[in-house]
Amino acid sequence: MWIPHTIPKTTFHLFIPSDEIVSCRLLVNEVEQVISSVNFSWADCMPKPLKLLCLDNIANHFSWYPDQLFEWITPINTEYFVETLSTSLPIALVIHVPGDEYWRRRYVGTWPNDVISTRNPAVSVKIVYITKYVSDIIENLEPGYVDETELSDILMVCSPYVTAIDCQQLRIQGSMVHTLAIDEPKGILPHDPIHIDISFVLGILKNIQTLSLVYGSRTFTTKPPMYSPEQYRFNIDDMDTLGRGLVISEHLTSLAITKSELNMPKFNRLLPYLMKCHGLEEINFSFCKLSSLGGKSVAHFVKTAKMLKLVNLCGNNIGPDGVESLSFVILWRRNNNYPAIELNLNMNNISDIGAKYLASALASGVQPLTKLRIRNCNITEIGGLNIAQSLAYDRGLRALEIDNNPLTLEVANALHTTLKTNLNIMYISIQNCNFPQSITNFLSRVAFYNRHGKRSELIYVDFEYLCYDDDEVEQENISLEEGTMESETMENDVKEGLI
């Protein structure tokens, strides 16, 4: 018996009788041969309906039928059809298959170890599959051995459905893979490898909004993977091919080049192309090698990007000089009515000097930042005090992360004083900053109440009392929903993009 996938499985659980009820149905001398309401194996002895046999035949010869096939058959027949159609057919043949069931089966068959996940419920499984399928094709293209005709045919078929490319590691020429072998001394390359021509790909995929690339080699080994900086080198000429592709991508809003040897000269080569991408809203160059000079070049781009809202420079060894340029630019942007910036400088050596530049921008009162992330930035008491005190003059910052910095109790006191009047901080993370846990918890609770508009219901405990007795404070200051506050906080932070 065929049960359509559209019938929820929970429907059957409502009708499953308990073992006690099933056993009571049989009389003492009755032969145990019954048709169970939850056992459909008896239907295997029945001949298959002619309608289903016809659908099976169509599925076996799917290439014979036009794209309008699904307009001719009824919805219930379509449900059966997508459950039986082979998942190994070429993508060009099945691109018009509707619904999610067929694409779910194809996803599981192609990537059995992956879990289908989508942050946006409105995005169908079909879109998720085709996006990952195209990204995998681009990842595995080997420079110098690309059949552009075949590649063009595949990309043109998928183009209407693809708005994002996420390549986790681009390949280099096969002749260079041996040079990167683990057994080679230091894995030194004779020259920087050249990757595929991204402009050719972007010239066909006209609807790309999000582009994420990692320039590195893909090596094949049965041993656990071992990586070296040499594997993430790329040629400066790659910036020209990428740049030409960016310019023709009219819908591009987000660009990420991460975990690559992107330094200041290579970024400067890309910069003229970026200046022509007027629709960019997010840039992510995390875990590259920009350093302070590269940070200044990024600041030059940020000054001209009118739509930009997010800048991620995590793990780039940017020092105070780079932060000074960034701080000046984000301040200039707000004075010229450009959008405020979400700035991620985690894991950079900005020190107290860089923190002072950021604090000066915050204290300007023009609300230059929406979120500031400065974890692991070697900020001590002086820089921490500057940041904390600047919040008294800023009303635009919604999230602050300053974890894993060697701060002091004086900084905690300054944050406590500032947040008493600041109702805009909706998320604050201050773990591993040498603060007592009671103060850390209380300041997080303040941000929680701000986020839910319930600040008037919060008992704002004195700083001295927080330092005196952790247990009494926890008992006196009960949150709105104490039992579920922690899980609700994490859920809301993810939804609102605060984390």
Closest CA to 137 of 150, 126, 124, 125: 150
* First-residue to last-residue Cα distance in the chain: 48
d(CA 199, CA 211): 12
Q: How many CB atoms lie within 10 A of CB 322?
A: 28
Q: In what order do the strands lie in the sheet with 341-344?
A: 164-167, 210-213, 254-257, 282-284, 310-312, 341-344, 369-373, 399-401, 427-429
Closest CA to 345 of 422, 287, 398: 287
For 302-340, what is each residue's pLDDT tens digit?
999 999 999 999 999 999 999 999 999 999 999 999 999
Q: Tokens at residue 321, please?
A: 């000089």
Does residue 263 have a pLDDT over 70? yes
Residues 6 or more apart whose Cβ sits within 8 Å of residue 19: none
Q: Tokens at residue 223, please?
A: 């041993």
Does residue 497 have a pLDDT over 60? no
For 271-280, what is each residue's pLDDT tens digit?
999 999 999 9
For 5-19, what is each residue's pLDDT tens digit?
666 666 666 666 565
In b/e form, how buried is each residue of 421-458, taking b as 16+ CB within 10 angstroms? Answer: ebebbbbbbbeebebeebbbbbbbbbbbbbbbeeeeeb
pLDDT number for residue 8: 63
Task: Considering only CA atoms, give the Rg of the chain.
Answer: 29
For 473-488, what is each residue's pLDDT tens digit?
444 454 444 444 444 4
**How many helices (H) and strands (E) in the chain?**
22, 9
pLDDT number for residue 195: 81
- What's the whole-number average pLDDT of the chain? 83
pLDDT number for residue 277: 94
- Residue recorded with tokens 């159609």: 85
- Which DSSP helix (H) or strand (E) runs through 415? helix 409-419
Does residue 221 have a pLDDT over 50? no
Residues paired with residue 490 on neighbouring β-strands, in sequence order: none
Longest CA–CA separation in the chain, Å: 92
Is residue 379 within 8 A of residue 394, CB to CB? The reply is: no
Q: How many CB atoms lie within 10 A of CB 181?
A: 10
Lowest mean pLDDT among 181-185, 326-330, 407-411, 434-438: 181-185
Mean pLDDT of 205-231: 70
**DSSP-assigned letters across all residues of 69-119:** HHHHS-HHHHHHHHHHS-TTS-HHHHTT--SSHHHHHHHHHH-TT-----S
360-494-434-346 Cα dihedral, nearest 10 degrees: -50
Q: What number of residues does the chain have?
A: 499
